[in-house]
Amino acid sequence: MDYSNNYSTTSYGGAGGANGGGFMPGSQSADGTTNKRSYGKDTLRPVTIKQLHDAIHPNPDAEYFLIDGSETTQVTFVGQVRAISAQTTNVTYKLDDGTGIIEVKQWVDAEAFDEQDPSNVKAKPTEEGYARVWGRLKAFNNKRHVGANIIRPVSDFNEIQYHLLEATVVHLHFSRGPPGDLQNKVIGGAGANMNGGYDAGGDMGGVKKLPAGTSAGARKVYHTIANTPQSHEGLHVQQIATSTQMEIGEVMRAAEELVGLGALFTTVDEQTWAILDVN
């Protein structure tokens, strides 16, 4: 995957909702000039909801946000539908992906399709089901939501994991550099900082930036992973347990705590972890 140019240009035609309301091609504004230029430079990035809430909005008039320092316009993510509120002009979905909750608004275009024609009726997300969203992050009255171009139910649950893995790969690309650069970096002992991650010196060799309430077991597990030479796959629970002389159950609980803090992420399976940047 090549992310050097912030992904390819995207176009959803008359899907609706990309600028706060339904639209047809060429009708984004009164003369079509401003939005045509903006949408011609659109990028599409897989994200988590936490990244959407943490994204930097350069100024109130900016039509883009910064995630990992990269300009982002269109985003895509997968989440569980917690609530649906249907209005005359739009449908609001509340989605939860495990990292946060955000509202997604899809504007209704009465002329877009005829519900009396079965061939035009598409499957819609349902409460407690999973859905994928394509749209634009927006901020209004200090509250963020996503204006959806497309929202559809997830039929293959593997898509949930695939999306999280893709979002992680893209985050690592922008925060640590392309894969070729990562191969030249070795997780060493004290002093390694993982290119913007934890400083491996100080409190227990690499965990001094963990929150004050982090348990001793979690600090010990993080210290072990941060200071043990390893491949890009990270360390398995058995290897961590042997190195720390902790019970496997204790390691699992500690790792779960660190994953919740955004300090670790699972790699080849649910019992293998690697360090994730936390700022």
Question: What confidence score (pLDDT) does residue 27 get?
Answer: 36
Q: Give this prediction's pTM.
A: 0.53
Mean pLDDT lowest for which of 80-89, 97-106, 116-125, 266-275?
A: 116-125
Q: Are 25 and 37 in contact (CB under 8 A)?
A: no
- Owning domain of residue 213: 185-275
**191 and 152 in one domain?**
no
pLDDT band at residue 11 using 50, 70 and 90 as cut-offs: very low
Question: What confidence score (pLDDT) does residue 198 get?
Answer: 39
Question: What confidence score (pLDDT) does residue 117 get?
Answer: 57
Long-range contacts formed by 109-112: CB under 8 A, 24+ apart: 109/14, 109/16, 109/22, 112/14, 112/16, 112/22
pLDDT band at residue 100 using 50, 70 and 90 as cut-offs: very high
The CATH number of the domain holding residue 250 is 1.10.10.10
**271 and 206 in one domain?**
yes
**257 and 205 in one domain?**
yes
Question: What confidence score (pLDDT) does residue 263 get?
Answer: 85
Mean pLDDT lowest for which of 101-115, 146-160, 199-213?
A: 199-213
Closest Cα partner for 78 from 143, 16, 146, 31?
146
**145 and 52 in one domain?**
yes
What is the mean predicted confidence (pLDDT) over 243-258? Answer: 89
* CA-derived radius of gyration, the chain: 21
**144 and 104 in one domain?**
yes
